[in-house]
Structure 1
Amino acid sequence: MAASIDMEYPFSGSWLVRNSPADRVPSHGTTLFATSYAIDFVPVGDTGRTAPVTLGSLLRPEAPEKFPGFGWPVSSPVEGIVVAVHDSEADHPAYRGLPSIGYALTQRRRAEAGWTALAGNHVLIESDGIVVALCHLQRGTAEVRPGQRVRIADVVGRCGNSGNSTEPHLHVQAVDSRDVEHADAVRLTFNGSLPRNGEIVVRESHAH
């Protein structure tokens, strides 16, 4: 049986579920870089939307600061040891509507550049031999360092738009090795279950 890990949600507030392995595997349409069971969470405002949709947002790239969840705290979903921190990638513009088509055409180039080019700023936390990756973090917001022990709900960084990301969100995956590019995917659940695409997860703050 494949390895698995059960975690807490790594955030507070309201987050929209996308690319959930509860709906399809591989969840992101590829097994590349052990993403078979990865899941995306997109922060949403009081309206349940990531950001207001305007004619401008459908025609041109947008600043990530326009999105209400940009900069929201991201916390550790497990108790473990931080084994890697990458914090220097720029947060690029968000792409919705027509701009998203052009951005999609550049995805192959990023994949060829390796996992870090896709993950952007990230933190890796090892817990009982399984490594949890928290990706697309905001540049310069890492609050942990390699070798540091973290508890559940300790803040590790903030939601950003780095790496392969069309709008600010948090990509979560679990793997069986610190070497993500050669690791196997690990099944994951949150509090014993997986949310489905389109569901909004609401969490109260328990940050330490």
Structure 2
Amino acid sequence: MADLLDLEYPFTGRWLVQNSPANRVPSHGTALFATSYAIDFVPVNDAGRSAPITLGSLLRSERPERFPGFGRSVLAPVQGVVIAAHDVEPDHPAHRGFPSIGYALTQQRRAQAGWVALAGNHVFIESGGIVVALCHLVHGSVRVQPGQHVQVGDVLGQCGNSGNSTEPHVHVQAIDTADIARANAVRLTFNGLLPRNGDVIDATA
């Protein structure tokens, strides 16, 4: 089995890279649920920015619909077979500023609750013995089902704020088995490269 999987970007438009394994491993500060090489993409506007930060956003939680990428299409980054599709989790408010401190204090509780509590709505695609997970999708937006064959660029769902997410984004990771409790992380690249934190990806449709 390959120890590295090269993907297409699972979106079009402009997206900001966060928590990249190009900057540190484990990329999210933990190897829990085989996330060592996971990467996050935050949708941004044409200027490369997320929702404007105001006094209100520093003091209270925000509706996820306020963010420029909430509801953007999430695409299959690889050809394969859908082996899991879950989209019944709610999209919760986004947390920046002081609200993010309180949210961080609940991190351990979410981790103890298991994979779904962290991933939220998600899709697993199996390709050549490797499973690609795309997480934090919008409630009710998943358009594929287990057993379905997908091609690169097929719409899987929409970028949301379900699971362990402080603002709408897409979390991507590759693993060697769908049994997340036993899975090992698989390194990944995108079009042969691994973007770094702070890079803005402009994926043309």
Instruction: Give 1:203's aligned residue.
Output: 203
- 1:74 and 2:69 equivalent? no
Structure 2 residue aligned with 1:47: 47
Does 2:113 match 1:117?
no
**What secondary structure sits across from 2:188 in the alignment?**
strand
Say yes or no: does 1:29 pair with 2:29: yes
Query: Match for residue 8 of structure 2?
Result: 8
The alignment covers a number of residue pairs equal to 205
Residues 51-76 of structure 1 show CA distances to partners (whole Å, capped at 9, x for unaligned) of 01100000000000000100000000
Question: Within 2, Cα distance between the matches of 1:46 and 1:18?
Answer: 18
Match of 2:191 in 1: 191
Letter of the 1:56 counterpart: G
Structure 2: distance between partners of 1:2 and 1:88: 32
Q: Could you state the TM-score of these two structures normalised by the residue count of structure 1?
A: 0.97
SS in 1 for 2:74: strand
Q: Which ranges of structure 1 fall in alignment gaps of 5 or more residues?
A: none
Give the drift of 1:2.
7.0
Q: How many angstroms apart in 1 are the aligned matches of 2:42 and 2:181? A: 24
Q: Which amino acid aligns with 2:7?
A: M
Counterpart of 2:198, as a letter, is: G
Aligned runs of 1:143-154 on 2, under 5 Å?
143-154=143-154
The answer as to whether partners of 1:2 and 1:187 remain within 8 angstroms in 2 is: no
Identity across the alignment (%): 70
Structure 2 residue identity aligned to 1:193: L
- Runs of 4+ aligned residues of structure 1 deviating over 3 Å after TM superposition are none
In structure 2, the gaps of 5 or more residues are: none
C-alpha distance after superposition, 1:163-207 (max 9, x if no partner): 0000000000000001112100000000111000000000012xx
